[in-house]
Amino acid sequence: MNNNKTPELVTVYSPESSLRSPASFLREMILDTWAAWALAMALARRDISSMYRQSLLGYVWAFLPPLGTTAVFLFLRAGGAFSTGDPGMSYPVFVLVGTLLWQVFGDSVNGPLKAVTNARPMLTKIRFPREALILSALLVTFFNFLVRLLILVPALCWFAWNGTYEFTPSAIALFPIGVLGIILLGYAIGVLITPAGMFYSDVSMALQTIMMFWMLVSPVVLTRPDHGIVGQVMYLNPVTHVLEFTRNGLVGIPCDWLAFLTVSMLSVVGLFIGIAIYRVALPHTIARMGM
Amino acid sequence: MNDHSPPKTPAIAVNTVSKKFCRSLKRSLMYGVQDTIHDLTGRSLANIGLRKDEFWANDDVSFDIHQGECVGLIGHNGAGKTTVLKMLNGLIKPDGGSITLRGRVGALIALGAGFNPVLTGRENIFINGAVLGLSRSEVASQLNEIIDFAEIGDYIDTPVRSYSSGMQVRLGFAVATAMKPDILLIDEVLAVGDLDFRMKCITRITKLVDSDTAVVLVSHSMTDIQRVCTRTIVMDHGKVEFDGDVSEGIAHYEAVGNRRAKAPPTGQPNKSSRSISFLSASATVNGRKDEETDRLVVNTGDNIRISFQIECHQAVPHARLRLYIDSENLLVKHIASLSTADQLTTLRLTPGIHKLSIEVPNLPLRVGAYSFGVSAHTGERNILIPNTHVGTIHVVGPTIQLAAKGDAGLFAMETKWTREEMR
């Protein structure tokens, strides 16, 4: 007899919806999410260290795509393939910062569903705090952002050296806040679509197409016109506000705090709802995933 | 094994649990979305019956398991064992009833789930441990023991993809049992390892049971079940068919299998085209008449006499009659094939009804269910009656104890141990 092992933990599984007692649902959701951090760290560490292990170029892949995009758009614009309004800064800075930030946004949208899809074998066979999967996606997104800084910082130094950019204390202060807003928005969207994406692969397939068009209606490589239908669409697009805030902040152009904070608040609410739906949907998706 | 203290609250209480699955994937996904939306709106789904293409994977399953009990959950493929285990582990929600668990749950539903092939064994131990709810320091303190138990040695720092499947299984088992759970769920994972490792696993499970862990073991290996379990639950078609003593449970399980394998039992050969037809069979056990051959309940060592009545339509000068004893758990076709030609060099059958009896004194079969059948041949190996299922023998005792007592296995043999002082 082992008397020091007195089990007090009582778990009940029943068909009832866990939302029937909202108070305990909330409490459990917060406790589980908190408890999942340690596991999320381990999973993120695993994903990061295995991500580049079977690759020759390794971390180069984190910033090669934005560099390529930047190069292509610089080339096209120089050749007169399209024209932009006044970006308020040097166009190379505009495009490079824009594409890097868009990549961060894309990472945070794609991350949660990708993490959960990759974890299918684990989900159907092991019980663990499942919030860890989406949290690890968040950690990986942050890590990838740090890697991208490795190209952004030298690039900005180079721009500063040739006179098209100027470092200011406010830029250094505003940039992280802006990036946080971008990640928060992308991540909230990513978590919200995860339950649907676990049922139907249509979601992840559609996502690729949507992200492509979405980029074109966000001020990533093109400037936002003040008038007209395109300007309206871009204005209604929440990414516009967090992206412009961050980029403007970085180059020292006045930022629209109201729009940024509004989008960020909505993101927080969306994220909260997303995690709740994720919790409720998971047992059902696992049951349908098969043995 | 454990002192039988008065039953406390069970570690696992399963109360009229049911679960339905869907045969069509498209529909299944649709129902999944429906169920999710129902849950999100807080409505109950409990009173919705079967929708199109759905079936009960578990139907009205109830049982209690206490601390220090090791229960073998047995049943044929598709009987619903894994579904029960997955509900116990909280992977999927029941559609009816409720499950209450007391204590920390450890599960080995799949070994090595969560192993990343690119990372080394050591890195994977920490991740797998974290997934199972162990803190980093807990894993670190048990790292050496885990590596020793898994017999991984120097491979611990090479990527898991270069491991053999056996090595992955050993590593998974070592990590999962390192957390010393209050409730341990094991699904058919021992089968993968080699014999030595299985014995090690069984020893470890027995130790956990001794320290009051409640264990549920799903296995198709009746030998393993007999070695570690204190009780069995037999499932068939999603329902609990039997709950109780290990040996009886195994006999029950094998009977279900024999029933499946042999149904429909009797397709009597057409009388006109055959010169011999089989009429009936009866049996006596230890001299007492027992007409029921479809379920003979006996003990190892009993004297059994089985009689067959056959009708002969035309004379067969050189006939042979054979009795087969089969077990569906074995790879060999028959355990025994006992022919009249072994003793009666000539069996002359004249037209009319004949009764042939075979006596098996001191039945050497151990606990289990065996089916038997009869066939008849001419001297030239022409088949007069093809192997026809006649009945089953259920050996229910004496109870098989732990392996150490040497009572397990298929056969009882008369043996003699001797001992000499060499020095």
Structure tokens at B27: 């529909």
Chain A residues with CB-CB distance to B91 below 8 A: 123-127, 283, 286
- Confidence at residue B268, expressed as pLDDT on a 0 to 100 scale: 42
Residue A1 confidence (pLDDT) above 50: no
Residue of B9, B36, B84 to mutate, interface with A, max A Cβ within 10 Å: B36
Q: How far apart are CA B67 and CA B87, in angstroms?
A: 19
Rounded average pLDDT over B340-348: 76
pLDDT band at B44 (very low <50, low <70, confident <90, very high): low
Closest partner residue to B99 (CB to CB) among A7, A9, A12 is: A12
Average pLDDT estimate for B370-389: 77
B216 forms beta bridges with B71, B185
Question: Does residue B401 register a pLDDT over 70?
Answer: no
pLDDT at residue B3 is higher than 80: no
Chain A residues with CB-CB distance to B119 below 8 A? 46, 49-50
CB contact under 8 A, B28 and A43: no
ipTM of this predicted structure: 0.81
More confident residue, B257 or B79: B79
Minimum Cα–Cα distance from B112: chain A residue: A122
Residue of B nearest to A119 (CA): B114
CB-closest option in B82, B114, B118 to A54: B118
How do beta strands B96-102 and A10-13 pair? Answer: antiparallel
**pLDDT of the residue at B264:** 44
- Record: contact B43-A17, CB cut-off 8 A: yes
Q: Which of A21-35, A91-105, B78-92, B331-345 has the lowest mean pLDDT?
A: B331-345
Q: Which helix (H) or strand (E) covers residue B198, if one does?
A: helix B195-210
Query: Does residue B272 have a pLDDT over 60?
Result: no
Backbone angles phi, psi at B120, to 5 degrees: -75, 165
pLDDT category of residue A55 using cuts at 50, 70 and 90 = confident
pLDDT of residue A39: 81
Lowest pLDDT segment from A257-271, B183-197, B323-337 = B323-337
* Mean pLDDT across A87-101: 89
* Bridging pattern class, strands B231-236 and B239-244: antiparallel
Facing residue for A39 by CB, picked from B86, B104, B131: B131
| Between A248 and B108, residue with greater pLDDT | A248
Count contacts between A and B (CB, < 8 Å): 151
Please return the burial class of B59, using the count of CB atoms within 10 Å of its CB with bins 0-12, 13-18 and 19+.
middle
**Shortest CB distance from B90 goes to which of A121, A127, A199?**
A127
Query: What is the C-alpha separation between B265 and B371, in angstroms, rounded?
Result: 11
Answer yes or no: do B102 and A277 touch at CB < 8 A. Answer: no
> How confident is the prediction for chain B on average, in pLDDT?
80
Distance from the A2 Cα atom to the nearest Cα atom in chain B, whole angstroms: 6
Tell me what the mean pLDDT of segment B21-32 comes to.
88
pLDDT band at B2 (very low <50, low <70, confident <90, very high): very low
What whole-number distance in Å separates Cα of residue B98 and Cα of residue B94? 7
Name the percent of chain B lying above pLDDT 90. 11
| Average pLDDT estimate for A48-52 | 79
pLDDT-derived band at B202, boundaries 50, 70, 90: confident
Whether residue A46 and residue B116 make contact (CB cut-off 8 A), yes or no, is yes
Q: What is the C-alpha to C-alpha distance for residues B11 and A215, in angstroms, rounded to an integer?
A: 55
Across all residues in chain A, what is the average pLDDT?
Answer: 87
Q: How far apart are CA B120 and CA B80, in angstroms?
A: 36
Closest residue in A to B210 (Cα) is A1
Q: Give the one of B33, B90, B110 whose C-beta lies nearest to A11's C-beta.
A: B90
* Residue in this structure with the two tokens 């104890």, named with its chain if needed: B401
| Predicted local confidence at residue A7, as pLDDT | 45
More confident residue, B134 or B273: B134
The mean pLDDT of B195-201, rounded to a whole number, is: 78
Closest to A280 (Cβ–Cβ): which among B19, B36, B114? B36
| pLDDT at B269 > cutoff 70 | no
pLDDT band at B13 (very low <50, low <70, confident <90, very high): very high
The predicted model gives B113-131 an average pLDDT of 79
Phi, psi of B402 (to 5 degrees): -65, 160
Contact call for A2 and B92, based on CB within 8 A: no
- A206, pLDDT greater than 90: yes
pLDDT at A242 exceeding the cut of 90: yes
> What pLDDT score was predicted for residue B239?
92
Which of A229-238, A259-268, B216-225 is predicted with the least confidence, judged by mean pLDDT?
A: B216-225
Residue-wise pLDDT for A112-169, tens only, equals 999 999 888 888 877 788 899 999 999 999 999 998 888 889 999 999 998 888 888 8
List CB contacts (< 8 A) between A128 and chain B.
131-133
Which pLDDT score is estimated for B254?
78
A15 with B44: Cβ contact below 8 A: yes
Q: How many Å apart are CA B259 and CA B389, to the nearest integer? A: 10
Statement: residue A21 has pLDDT above 60:
yes
Q: CA B83, CA B68: separation in Å to the nearest integer? A: 23
Instruction: Specify the pLDDT at position A130.
Output: 87
Q: Determine what percent of chain B is predicted with pLDDT higher than 70.
A: 86
The verdict on a CB contact (< 8 Å) between A19 and B40 is yes
CA atoms within 13 A on the CB side of B270: 2
